[in-house]
Structure formats: C-alpha cells, structure tokens
Amino acid sequence: MFESLSENLQATFKELRGQGRLTEDNIKDALRQVRRALLEADVALDVVRDFIDRVKERALGEQVRTSLTPGQEFISIVREELITELGGASQGLELRAQPPAVILMAGLQGSGKTTSTGKLARYLLEQKKRVLVVSCDVYRPAAIDQLKTVAEAVSADFHPSSPLQSPAQIADAALAVARKELYDVLIVDTAGRQTVDEKMMQEIKGLHDFLKPAETLFVIDSMTGQDAAKTAAAFGDALALTGVVLTKVDGDARGGAALSVRKVTGKPIKFLGVGEKLEALEVFHPERLASRILGMGDVLSLIEEAEKKIDRQKAEKLAQKFKKGKGFDLEDYRDQLAQMVNMGGLGAMLDKLPGMSQIPAQVKNQINDKEITRAIAIINSMTLQERRFPDVIKASRKKRIAAGSGTQVPDVNRLLKQHMQMQKMMKRMRKGGMANMMRGMQGMMPPGGMPRR
C-alpha cells in the first residue's frame, strides 16, 4: 500500500545521506519533499501540516546539526514522528468486561465490515474465546446470509436474524442468547450506507446505547484516501469509538487513510486487513509499519507469521531428512513452496525484509507468485515415483505432466532445473555451512527473481 510513499521518502533520504552536514536550507528542502510525498499519498492536509511542523522543529535542533551522521539523524526523527502519527504503540482489544463482551462494528457500506467481522471472530477463536456473531443489517440484500457464510467458514457461532426484524430487536435477542449460553464475545455487524446520513447515525447510536459495547470499531477502506478523514470524523462525532480496522491494506492504495484516520478520530488503529482470505488480519504495530514505510523492513512480523503458519511437523521432518544426508525430492520442494504461499507469497515476504524497497521496479515485477502456484500444480501432476525420483521424468512423462497441470513442457523443464539447483544448494550448505549455501543460490533465478514465462 505504501510503495509510492516509501519510494519518494527514500529518494529524499538518499540525497540527505550524501550531505556532510545539514543546514537550514537543505533541511527545508528535504521537508518540502517529505510534504510532497505525504500529499501524493493522499494524507489529509491538516495531518501533513502538523507532521511537518513537528519534524521541522526537531530537525532544526542542535542534535541534528552537530551529529556525525546528520542524514541518519533526520531519518530517525521522521521515523519517530511517523510512529507517533500512527498511534505510538500497539493497542489490542479491551475485553475485560462482564461476559459477553460486545464488539460493535461500524462503517460505510463496502468498507469490509462483514468480512472483518469474520476475520475478527477467527482471531478471537484462536485466543480461545467463545464467539457469537450477528448481523443487524436489514437493508442490504443477502447481508445476513453473507455473515452466516463467513461465520461458518471460520467456525464461529452465528445468531440468525431476519430483515423483518428491527436492528434493535436483533441486538436484544442476540445479547440474550450470548448471556444465556455463556459466550465470551458477541460481535455485532451493523448496516452501512454509501455516505454518512442522519438515519444511519441515529440507528447505530441506538444500538450503541443499548449494547454498551466494550469495543466500538470503525471499519474503513484504506482505498478511500482523504475521504477517510471526513468519514472518520463523522463517526467519531456520533459514536464513542475505541479503535479502527483498516481494510484492503494489500491493495494499491496510497496510504493516506492510515496516516489520517488515527489523527482525526484520536483512536488507535487496532487491526489491518491484509488480504481477502479470512486469516488475513494483522494486529497493528505502528513502529513496524513506520519501518516498512521507510524501507527498514518488518522482520518481527515476518517471524510471527512464520510461527503461526509454518507446519512445524513438516519443517522438523525436512530438518531430520537434511541432517541425515537424504535427498531433497520434489515432494519436499512442493511443501516449501506451499509454506511460502501460506505466508502470503514471495512478494509479501520480501516486503517485510529490510532494504527490499530499494530493489528496482523492473526486478520487483519479476517476482511473480503465480510462478509458485504453477510450480505446485506441476508437482501435483506427477506420480509419487516421479516426485521422489525426478530422474525418471523423460519426454513422454513431461508431456503428460504439462497436460495435467495446464502448463507447457518448458515450464516442467524449468521446474526440474530449479529443483536440481536447490538440491545442489542443500548439499553445499550441509558440507560448508551458510557461505556455501549463498553461493549455491546464485544462478537459481535470473537477476531479480522468479523466471518469466
């Protein structure tokens, strides 16, 4: 989401790093470029002004001008102020209330409330909470059925409702059931509109007054840019919001919503929706996002993602196999590719590594996750014998495998070559450690990443 902002800021910082010392003139020039980068990212004007003023006051101080690394000092100030702008510290859900703790989901139609309700239910179920979800949207066709489908997909309990009921009646019945059946959390999905209107606000205020929720989360689409600030202000005036869920962060939005909504509402961003899948919800960490914007990576999030999504049994099995000196067959290769897909794909992983934002655009374009899924399909089209003994795969077998996976024979040849190179790399690592492994990785892919078709 922040690719353009990140590139613009890093171009500015690159110029500063080359300066032997910082003067008032080149600091002002850098601030001008930072301001332009933020405005191009669709950050609200008032937010940009306040941010630049804070950075300017600190950057013109004695600490920066007398520093041995003034450029680095300036970048550090920008990072610290970005963290402040994004909320300072991560803030989780506050559910220390008499069960059931109620979470009220608010926002415009199309912001992703229903999907976010399902994602949040899944997150809480992983925290060993008993969760009940209910839809109070009696206006949008199939809204209730949509939430039912989402709830079933994440194994959350669903309280049925009907468009013939009023939102107040639905909320009353759901709360009674949640109390009687001892649920820990009740998540209430509310109706949205295309724009903020008085009827909508009165309805959700009524639900809020009745339910007295422990959390009132404002769900907003990160693609809305500066409009996010206006919508956030309207909801903030009408409701006692406790936090924000920012959706569609994986899209090509310019990032203005994330930097604007915290300032406008005065409430923390608590979660990021980072994909369409129901597991694609991340706890928001301001310091990690600030580092990613500035091209410093987010290794902690990558580690947490790996801990949650890597199959430990398969990883340990491969480690034992590797330790005993056994071969790295195509089944092992497929498992490693599948783990990569499970973590969001190669692109998502690389985004979290430090310095990756400095890779040229033409190289990034070669990192294509479709190549990974194509490789998995090719291996799945093989017999068990072929996966374990790739040497038996000759011309006729290649044609059959290509036909079964919807690919071409050159694709099969490419995969076999990559697997062979991976085997060599594993052998080098076993014999000579990490240095040999890194040498083995050279040439596995064309300069820049996955091969093009």
Please state the residue numbers annotated as binding site: 107-114, 189-193, 247-250
Start-to-end CA distance of the chain, whole Å, equals 27
- CA dihedral angle for residue 120, residue 209, residue 95, residue 163, rounded to 10 degrees: -30
Cα gap 273→283, rounded to integer Å: 9
Pair of tokens at residue 9: 């800021």
Strands 131-135 and 269-273 come out as: unpaired
Burial of 197 (0-12, 13-18, 19+ CB in 10 A): exposed
- Angle in degrees, CA 322, 328, 334, rounded to 5: 120
Please tell me the chain's helix, strand, coil percentages from 3-state DSSP, rounded to the nearest 5: 60, 10, 30
Q: What phi and psi, each to the nearest 5 degrees, are found at residue 55? A: -65, -45
Distance in angstroms (rounded) separating the CA atoms of residues 167 and 401: 55
Rounded Cα distance between 451 and 453, Å, is 7
Is 385:296 a contact under the CB 8 Å cutoff? no
Alpha-carbon distance of 233 to 240, in angstroms, equals: 12
Give the integer Cα–Cα distance in Å for 5 and 225. Answer: 13
In degrees, rounded to 5, the angle at the alpha carbon of residue 84 between the alpha carbons of residues 81 and 86 is 110
Amino acid at 210: F
Position of tokens 């600490």?
63
Integer-rounded Cα radius of gyration of the chain: 26
Interhelix angle 409-432/330-342, nearest 10 degrees? 90
> How far apart are the C-alpha atoms of 250 and 377, rounded to whole Å?
25
Annotation: binding site for GTP: 107-114, 189-193, 247-250
Neighbours of 354 (CB within 10 A): 13
Strands 269-273 and 281-283: antiparallel
Q: ω into residue 100 within 30 of 0, thus cis?
A: yes
3-class SS string, 272-324: EECCCCCCCEEECCHHHHHHHHCCCCCHHHHHHHHHHHCCHHHHHHHHHHHHC
Quote the CA–CA distance of 262 and 241 in Å, as a whole number.
Answer: 11
Q: Which residues contact 416 (CB under 8 A, 6 or more apart)?
A: 390, 393
